Amino acid sequence: MKGLVPLFLGIFGTFAFSWLGLTVVPNWQIGHLNPQSDEEGTDIYPQPQSGMFERGARVYAANGCIYCHSQQVRADYAADDIERKWGNRRSAPRDYIFEQTVFLGKMRMGQDIANIGARAPAEQASPSPAGAAAPATSPSRGTSPAVSPTSQGRAPTAASPAPKQTPSPSPAAQPGSPAPAASPAAPGGSPAASPASESFSCSATRLAGTGRFSRSTGRIAGGVSGFAWAKRCDESCSSWSSCGGITGSGSNSKCESCCFTKPGSWCAMASSNRWRATDVLRGVASCASLFAAQHQHRFEHAVLSFPL
């Protein structure tokens, strides 16, 4: 090296090359995609997200869901993602154009959840061998204010805005599911019809989640540790009556029993038990506050076009 100038030029040049090549040029190529529509111009995909969607994304970011879950389906020739029914087709750049923060993810300690909203109810109909089916995402068909239902039949199923109080079988009761170590059965002190541990699902637009709440220990079980937090609604407190969770504000939360009384407090699904993040997150995702709704029509829509 003869002197300082070539050194500086080289240092800048190599880096500029990489910067242009891997960020600027791709931005020019796929950085300004628009939604597509079919021939009649009616069926527009993807559609802009609701505000609740963004809130869900913040929840997802804050709690590090990305460290266990990916949101990308690989092509059938590259991997077996599609065979696992994680999607009908591979993910494409256009799928993500309305997401403020894209969570492609790099790790699958939990399942891929790119199309979770569409998948969860279907899987519940036929529980997977490992008992991983979401316990309480029984779809109630309703119209959703947060989600604009598409013409596709299955689209709105998982994103029911109606608060559900239907307790459904706990995952613990399903074959193959690990014993709920975090919620030992209470000796009959449970006021509810269900045994000591009660399963629940919250799918109101404010929060999301599904899991089991143990009355005896006051703990929530249902997934890996790490959870979805969402601000609860103040107007429809009654809709939470069957919802267990952690309350409190911000980080100083603590576990509380079923009903939340203080408007504006935080509500979350907690976790604990073994490898059932999928359970919780599937429930979480099936609520409109997260990405679910949007991912449904993403999924239904087979139109794919991006330059390769």
Partner 1 sequence: MNATGIPLKEPEISAVAGDTEQLERAYIDASTRVPVLMFYTSAIAWLILGTLLAGFVSWKLHSPDLLSDISFLTWGRVRPAHMNVMVYGWASMAGMGTAIWLMARLCRTVLRFPLLLVAGACFWNLGVLLGVGGILLGDSTGYQWLEFPGYAAIILFVAYTLVASWAVLMFRYRRGDQIYITQWYLLGAFLWFPWLYAAGQLMLFVVPVQGVLQSAVGWWYANNLLFLWFGAIALGTAYYMIPKVIGRPVYSYHLATIGFWSYALFSSWTGMQRLIDGPFPAWMITASIAATILTMIPVATVGLNHHMTMQGYFPLMRYSPTLRFTVFGAMSYTVFSVVGVLISLRSVARYVSFTQASIAYSHLGLYAFFTMVIFGSMYYIVPRLVGREWRYASLIKLHFWASAYGVGLMTLMLLAGGFLQGADMQNPTLAFNVSIETALPYLRGRSLAGILLTVSHFIFAYHFGLMLLGLGRTSTVPTFLNPVEAEASGGH
Residues 129-168 touching partner 1, rule: CB under 8 A, are: 129-130, 132
Binding residues with partner 1: total (CB under 8 A): 93
Cα gap 142→236, rounded to integer Å: 17
Contact yes or no for 217/244 (Cβ under 8 A):
no
To the nearest whole angstrom, how small is the minimum distance from the Cβ of residue 221 to partner 1? Answer: 9
Q: Does 260 bind partner 1 (CB under 8 A)?
A: no
Least distance CB 107 / partner 1 (angstroms): 6
Contact with partner 1 (CB under 8 A): which of 63, 148, 165, 216?
Answer: 63
Q: What is the dihedral of CA 42, 43, 45, 50, to 10 degrees?
A: 80
Q: Return the amino acid letter for 296.
A: Q
For the window 209-228, what string marks contact with partner 1 as x by the rule CB under 8 A?
A: ----------x----xxxx-
Q: Is 64 in the site for partner 1 (CB under 8 A)?
A: yes
Cα 170 to its chain centre, rounded Å, is 20
Please identify, among the stretches 100-108, 150-158, 167-175, 197-205, the one whose residues bind partner 1 according to the rule CB under 8 A.
Answer: 100-108
Q: What is the DSSP letter of 123?
A: H
Q: Tell me which stretch binds partner 1 (CB under 8 A): 134-142, 200-208, 253-261, 294-302.
A: 253-261
Q: Is 53 in the site for partner 1 (CB under 8 A)?
A: no
**Chain residues 179-198 in contact with partner 1, contact rule CB under 8 A:** 181-182
- Minimum distance from residue 254 beta carbon to partner 1 (Å): 7
Within its chain, how far is the Cα of 64 from the centroid? 12
Distance CA 169, CA 166 (A): 10
Query: Judged by CB under 8 A, does residue 91 bind partner 1?
Result: yes
91 and 39 Cβ atoms separated by less than 8 Å: no
Cα separation, 247 vs 253, whole angstroms: 5
- Under rule CB under 8 A, residue 170 binds partner 1: no
**Residue 139 token pair:** 């779809």
Q: Which residue of 229, 240, 260, 299 would you call a contact of partner 1, by CB under 8 A? A: 229
Of 250, 261, 302, 305, the residue at the interface with partner 1 (CB under 8 A) is: 250
Among 31, 35, 169, 263, binds partner 1 (CB under 8 A): 31
Q: Does 254 contact partner 1 by CB under 8 A?
A: yes
Convert 130-163 to b/e letters by CB count within 10 Å (16 or more is b): ebbbbbbbbbeeeebebbebbeeebbbbbbbbeb
